[in-house]
Amino acid sequence: MKAAHSVTDLVAAGLMTPAAGEAVAAVADRYAIALTPYLLETLADAAPGDPLYAQYVPSPEEAYTAPEEREDPIGDVVRSPVKGIVHRYPDRVLLKPLHACAVYCRFCFRREMVGPGGEALSPEELDAALAYVRAHPEVWEVVVTGGDPLLLSPRRLSHIVRSLSDIPHVGVVRLHTRIPVADPARVTTELIEALKAPELATWMAIHVNHADELTEPARGAIARLADAGIPLLGQTVLLKGINDDAAALEALFRGLVRNRIKPYYLHHPDLAAGTSHFRPTLAEGQALVKGLRGRVSGLCQPTYVLDIPGGHGKAPAAPGWVRPDGEGGYLAEDFTGAAHRYRG
C-alpha cells in the first residue's frame, strides 16, 4: 500500500466518496494531505466521526478562515534570526531542519509552511543555523522540530545531534515528532542510535491526541525508544470533537504514562487558518483541565498552555495567567509578565 497524498488517493483508499472529495477540493489545493500506509490500514474501517480520521482527513470546514486566524499564529517568522532557527526564549531555540511531515494534521499551526517535498535546509543553511547556536552561549536546549525531524535519514539526524553535542553550552536536544504513532516501523535501531551523542541528553516529545493512537505497533515503537534510555514526553492538542471530554483525556493520559510517556503539554489550539471547528473556548478547556485533577494522578497531568499570538511564547492557561478582559476576549500573561490581548 502506498501513502496517500491527494483527494484522489483518499477516494481510492475508501476514506471518502467521490462527492466528498469534490467538497474538499479547494481545501486540498491549499493545505497538504499525507497519510502513511500504516495509517491508511489503521483507518480502513473508520468514518468521519472517528477521532483519528478527523485528525488526518480534510473536511470542508477547513475552507473557512475565521477573522482572528493567522498564517503564522505563534510568530515563528518574527523570532527567526537566521533560516531554520526560532529564538523565542533566552535559553532555548527551535531548529527546523525541514518543513515536511509523514502526515499532515488538519489542525497544524504550521500548515501554511509545511507540505510535500517541504524544503530542507541546505548544508550551508544548516551550518549557519548551528553557527547561530554556537555563537549564543545562553542557549542550553535545542528543540529539533519542523516538519518532522524523524523523516530525516539516520545519517542526517546523527550529524545534527553530534554537531549539537560538540557545542559546550548545549546540554539538551529535544526532538518533536509524530512518527511513533504515524509510521511506527520507521523507529528502527539505526534511527534510535542516531538520536544519541556523548555529553548530550536526548529527549523526545511525541505528539499524541487520542488513546486510539496507542496501537500495538505504536506501543512497540515507543517501547524501543524508552528501552534505549530516551526520556519521552507527550504533546497533545485539545481538539473539539476528538478529545474535548474528561473521559477521552483520562484514557489518553493514562495510556501515555502506562507507555512511559510523561504528559507534558496540553495545547489550546493555535489560531491557524481554517481550524476554528477544532477549537473549544478557553473556558471549556480550563473546566476540563480542572476536572482532571480529581480523576488522574499527578503523573497524568500535563500543563494546559496557550501560545500567545505574535511570538510572545506560552502561558499556562489557568486563572492568574489567562483571564477575561471584560470585553469578550482574554488577557494572556507571557513569561516576562507582559499581558497580551487574545481573541479566539
Q: Which one from 31, 105, 264, 342 is the annotated catalytic residue?
A: 105
300 belongs to the catalytic site: no
d(CA 16, CA 8): 9
Counting beta carbons within 10 angstroms of the beta carbon of residue 181, is it exposed (0 to 12), middle (13 to 18) or buried (19 or more)? buried
Q: Which one from 110, 174, 178, 279 is the annotated catalytic residue?
A: 110
Report the chain's C-alpha Rg in angstroms. Answer: 19
314 belongs to the catalytic site: yes
Q: Which one from 72, 148, 183, 307 is the annotated catalytic residue?
A: 307
307 belongs to the catalytic site: yes
Q: Which one from 31, 70, 72, 101 is the annotated catalytic residue?
A: 101
Contacts of 172 (CB under 8 A, 6+ apart): 140, 141, 142, 200, 201, 202, 203
Q: Which residue, 63, 23, 148, 141, is CA-closest to 98?
A: 148
89 belongs to the catalytic site: yes
Phi and psi torsions of 235, nearest 5°: -115, 130
110 belongs to the catalytic site: yes
Q: Which one from 72, 148, 183, 270 is the annotated catalytic residue?
A: 270
Q: Which one from 38, 314, 334, 342 is the annotated catalytic residue?
A: 314
* Cβ density class 140-154: b for 16+ within 10 Å, e for less: ebbbbbbbbbbbbeb
105 belongs to the catalytic site: yes
Quote the cell numbers at residue 271: 489560531
Side-chain half-sphere exposure of 314, counting CA atoms within 13 A: 11
The distance in angstroms from the start CA to the end CA of the chain is 40
Q: Which one from 31, 70, 79, 88 is the annotated catalytic residue?
A: 88
Give the active site residues. 88-89, 92, 101, 105, 108, 110, 270, 307, 314
